[in-house]
Amino acid sequence: MDALQQVSAYWRAANYLSAGQIYLLDNPLLTEPLLPEHIKPRLLGHWGTTPGLNFVFAHLNRIITERGQDMIYIAGPGHGGPATVAHAWLEGTYSELYPDVSQDAAGMRRLFRQFSFPGGIPSHAAPETPGSIHEGGELGYSLAHAYGAAFDNPDLVVACVIGDGEAETGPLAGSWHSNKFRHPRKDGVVLPILHLNGYKIANPSFLARIPPAELAKLMEGYGYRPYVVEGDDPDAVHPLMASTLDAVFNEIATRPEHLPMIILKTPKGWTGPKEVDGKPVEGTWRAHQVPLSEVRTNDEHREQLAAWMRSYKPEELFDDQGRPYPEVVGLVPKGPKRMSASPHANGGELLRPLVLPDFRDYAVAIERPGTASTSPTQVLGTFLRDVIAANPHSFRLMGPDETASNRLQAVYEATGKAWQAATLPTDENLQPGGRVMEVLSEHLCQGWLEGYLLTGRHGLFNCYEAFIHIVDAMFNQHAKWLDTAREIPWRRPVASLNYLLSSHVWRQDHNGFTHQDPGFLDVVLNKKASVVRVYLPPDANTLLSVADHCLRSRDYVNVIVAGKQPVLDLFDREEAVVHCTRGLGIVDWASNDAGQEPDVVLACAGDVPTLETLAAVSLLREKLPDLRVRVINVVDLMRLQPPGEHPHGLPDAEFDALFTTDKPVIFNFHGYPWLIHRLTYKRNGHDNFHVRGYREEGTTTTPFDMAMLNGIDRFHLVRDVIDRVEGLGVRYAALRQEMTDARLRARAHTRAHGEDAPEIRDWTF
């Protein structure tokens, strides 16, 4: 067999294995007549995209084998599971990782049976799939993942098949422009293969129906050089694909600044049934899922299935033990060159810990807690600067044009912003190959970072808090990936996905209501406790400690919410470590309940709520000096949950000792208040919890006015104490009124003068 014949045989084998996965419970080699009991009771799978994915895979194997190219494969089309699994089995990887799915008839039977079967494997590329860093469930992220994988992997080609359905999504449409951020020599090559099979679930895709010249312009406008491979006769398309790939890889090898891409136009459900029940199937949307739907009950359908599968000539592909003949897998690369076995696609194998400077060296010196103020993110910027310098090829900082706005600008002392387009003399900090990735697309920041992490590197995504909701769905999918991957023994742990959310709800002086939304935390906490962590460091030193911890962690999503505006320095270097290690604790210097039961607990999480809590305590200690107040600050939100619900959960006895079981707890929270109830409702003292937080009252106004609007200000808190501590209500009615008056005065001042009242702004503990 010559190389093209081998490609063709491999393709037929992959198509056979794909159809088998969708349909067969038994009789995998069709050695017996096909009977109803050989057919799965529920036919769940997607044939339509599969032959195209197989076609590309088969041809890329020739390139890898002939050129020794390092390559990974991203299957963008939603339900390419049968294809990616078939390849891993043909390449031998599947049987290495799942020995019971051996490369023989018994293994083939298991391979077929497990697909989209209860207790088996999903119907799309997934963490279970060897060679995959991309889950084919929610569409739109393949190309961003591909670029993330290619960054800092100069010898790697990432072949990214993009479905024409997926190509309609916004995130995918924006991802083409990732090339403006790719360094031609320091980064690898992404080879986009836009697969126009013409249809989505039930509709044509528009990119398959616009004039070809228009599509070519679109690709050129995106900055690529399109090559077209089109046809429905395999005998014609095979040589065309092969010669095109040769041309493309010659170009890649000799002109690293060029960006070729391939438009592959082949029929949906190619080589499958042409017609079923008198209706055209191959080349139409009817091929999307299961082209023959009644194979168990309809004899004609069953005969059609048998004829279809036999059309691949299994007897030429597999020996009588079910092993692929050597010529069929003759172009399969060796060892880690196999795309199903590339360590890049099991990034934990390549992961090296970050070289981290000692974060304590960046700590703010504190004379007396609660007196001076510092911008936490500005301090973090100095730490990140040196993290970047110490890890010049394995750490990237992502941000949607907000890195400087979030006060991390110290990083520019160590690096620039990745940029490959034209520059002007007035530009600052642009640098081809820079470690900061600034693009006004949260989707790209997230997608790049996911691709970068899953191929064994590290990073942090800094974002305005409100707009991180733009990637809620991507976060959900990544958390699901991690949750599944950590149960798969051969998947090695990868670096955590770290979010730094700043420019948060309480400090949107410029931007107002549209920029005020702390609800990402609620989304995050819907995901499995095993993979999500949320931190609310109240000052610069605690932010340093939390960031260091997150950068060392594996297989989590860490969300850090921290302010960019100066906040009170509360914890000195060593206290910060202790406080963050505990995750929550009594703020001794602000409490006056030493050694006794408090009368009231004032708890807080988040920088602005902590400030207001301390201000309230200051008022209380002045006005009610005999009241025993305990102040608790919470950094690690998961400590509030019972230990049965989250591994960080504080044991009930410790929780009760801290919060008491019978004293009022006034909890001042950064986000929506019910989140604290949700985390604590099983706690003994929960009925005594009174939670304040953001209640969706927002506008363009001063920080203290925002606090008052939502009731998290010092005056409301003092009133809460008077209202809730037994016996205070009657005795301190005048003080209660005084608090109300002070609040109304402060609001009036703000509305008259456009600024917080002076005593509010100048306050220190």
Write out the binding residues for a copy of itself, residues 487-526 only, by CB under 8 A: 509-515, 517, 519, 522-523, 526
Q: Which is nearer to a copy of itself, 140 or 188 (CB)?
A: 140
Identify which of residues 232 and 358 has a Cβ nearer to a copy of itself in the complex: 232
Using rule CB under 8 A, residue 140 touches a copy of itself: yes
Between CA 609 and CA 692 the distance in angstroms is 9
Selected from 18, 69, 205, 391, the binder of a copy of itself by CB under 8 A is 205
Residue 267 engages a copy of itself in binding (rule: CB under 8 A): no
User: At a CB cut-off of 8 Å and minimum separation 6, what does 213 contact?
Assistant: none
What is the largest distance, in Å, between two alpha-carbon atoms of the chain? Answer: 97
Under 8 Å between Cβ of 603 and 634: yes
Taking residues 415 to 454 in sequence order and writing x for each that binds a copy of itself by CB under 8 A, - otherwise, the string is: --x-x-xxxx-xx--x-------xxxxxxx----------
**Residue (105 or 126) nearer to a copy of itself, CB:** 126
| Stretch near a copy of itself under the rule CB under 8 A, chosen from 39-47, 62-70, 493-501, 581-589 | 39-47
> Is the Cβ of residue 356 or residue 430 nearer to a copy of itself in the bound state?
430
C-beta of residue 52 within 8 angstroms of C-beta of residue 197: yes
Both tokens of 466, joined, read 């409100």
Q: Does the protein bind a copy of itself through residue 325 (CB under 8 A)? A: no
C-beta closer to a copy of itself: residue 165 or 585 = 165
The dihedral formed by the CA atoms of 232, 236, 242 and 246, expressed in degrees to the nearest 10: -110
Helix (H, G, I), strand (E, B) or coil at 415: coil
Phi, psi of 191, rounded to the nearest 5 degrees? -110, 100
- In contact, 149 and 156? CB cutoff 8 Å: yes
Question: Binding a copy of itself by CB under 8 A: which of 84, 93, 175, 541?
Answer: 175
Site for a copy of itself in 77-116 (CB under 8 A): 116
Site string for a copy of itself, 272-301 (x = CB under 8 A): --------x--xx----x------------
Please identify which residue in 202, 365, 730, 734 interacts with a copy of itself, judged by CB under 8 A: 202
Tell whether residue 182 is a contact of a copy of itself (CB under 8 A). no
Quote the tokens at residue 501. Answer: 């959310």
Q: How far is the CB of 170 from a copy of itself (least distance, A)?
A: 4
Q: Which of 5, 36, 68, 201 binds a copy of itself (CB under 8 A)?
A: 201
Contact between 122 and a copy of itself per CB under 8 A: yes
Query: CB of 147: closest distance to a copy of itself in angstroms?
Result: 13
Which positions from 145 through 164 interact with a copy of itself, judged by CB under 8 A?
none
Size of the site for a copy of itself (CB under 8 A): 122
**Residues of 61-70 as b/e, b for ≥16 C-beta within 10 angstroms?**
bbbbbeeebb
The CA-to-CA distance between both ends of the chain, in Å, stands at 83
What is the number of other CB atoms lying within 10 angstroms of the CB of residue 426? 5
Angle subtended by helix axes 105-114 and 81-90, to nearest 10: 160
The pattern of x and - marking residues 681 through 710 that bind a copy of itself according to CB under 8 A reads x-----x--------x-xxxxx--x-----
Interface of this chain with a copy of itself, residues 605 to 664, rule: CB under 8 A:
none
Of 83-91, 335-343, 540-548, 677-685, the segment contacting a copy of itself by CB under 8 A is 677-685
Tell which one of 6, 342, 477, 502 touches a copy of itself (CB under 8 A): 477
Question: Which of 636/705 has CB closer to a copy of itself?
Answer: 705
| 538 sits near a copy of itself (criterion: CB under 8 A) | no
475: its two tokens: 């976060």
Task: Give the tokens for residue 449.
Answer: 């970072």
Contact 188, 259 (CB under 8 A): no
Measured distance CA(586)–CA(712) in Å, rounded: 20
- CB of residue 667 to a copy of itself, shortest distance in Å: 14
Residue 172 binds to a copy of itself (criterion: CB under 8 A): yes
- State how far Cα 117 lies from the chain centre: 27
Q: Taking the complex as a whole, how short is the minimal distance between the CB of residue 203 and a copy of itself, in angstroms?
A: 5
By CB under 8 A, the residues from 356 to 415 that bind a copy of itself are: 401-405
Give the integer Cα–Cα distance in Å for 689 and 658. Answer: 13
CA distances from 516 to 439, 505, 522, 597, 641 (A): 22, 4, 14, 37, 26
CB-nearer residue toward a copy of itself: 95 or 684: 684
- 341: tokens are 């076995």
Residue 583 or 673: the one with the smaller Cβ distance to a copy of itself is: 673
- Rank residues 99 and 119 by Cβ distance to a copy of itself and give the closer one: 119
Member of 311, 374, 431, 476 binding a copy of itself (CB under 8 A) = 476
> With left for phi above 0 and alpha for psi between -120 and 50, is residue 355 left, alpha or beta?
beta
Non-local CB neighbours of 297 within 8 Å, separated by 6+ positions: 36
Q: How far is the CB of 164 from a copy of itself (least distance, A)?
A: 9
488 burial (CB, 10 Å; 0-12 / 13-18 / 19+) is middle
Is 170 among the residues that bind a copy of itself (CB under 8 A)?
yes
Kindly state whether residue 343 participates in binding a copy of itself, applying the rule CB under 8 A.
no
651 vs 550: CA distance, rounded Å: 23
Q: How far is the CB of 59 from a copy of itself (least distance, A)?
A: 26
Provide the minimum distance between the beta carbon of 459 and a copy of itself in the complex, in angstroms, as a whole number: 18
Stretch binding a copy of itself (CB under 8 A), from 4-12, 335-343, 361-369, 479-487: 479-487
Q: Which stretch binds a copy of itself (CB under 8 A): 59-67, 212-220, 302-310, 556-564?
A: 212-220
Q: Which of 274, 323, 469, 724 binds a copy of itself (CB under 8 A)?
A: 469
Give yes or no for residue 755 binding a copy of itself (CB under 8 A).
yes
Identify which of residues 350 and 404 has a Cβ nearer to a copy of itself in the complex.
404
8 Å CB contact between 226 and 213:
no
Question: Closest approach of Cβ 218 to a copy of itself, in Å?
Answer: 3
| DSSP summary character for residue 196 | E
Hey, what long-range contacts does 281-285 have (CB within 8 A, 24 or more apart)? 283/198, 283/232, 284/198, 284/199, 285/48, 285/199, 285/200, 285/201, 285/202, 285/203, 285/204
Task: By CB under 8 A, name the one of 473, 628, 736, 763 that touches a copy of itself.
Answer: 473
Q: Is 168 in the site for a copy of itself (CB under 8 A)?
A: yes
Location of structure tokens 């037994």? 726
Token representation of residue 641: 């949950």
Nearer to a copy of itself, 396 or 579 (CB): 396
Residue 573's CB is within 10 A of a number of other CB atoms, namely 17
Consecutive H or E run containing 689: strand 689-692
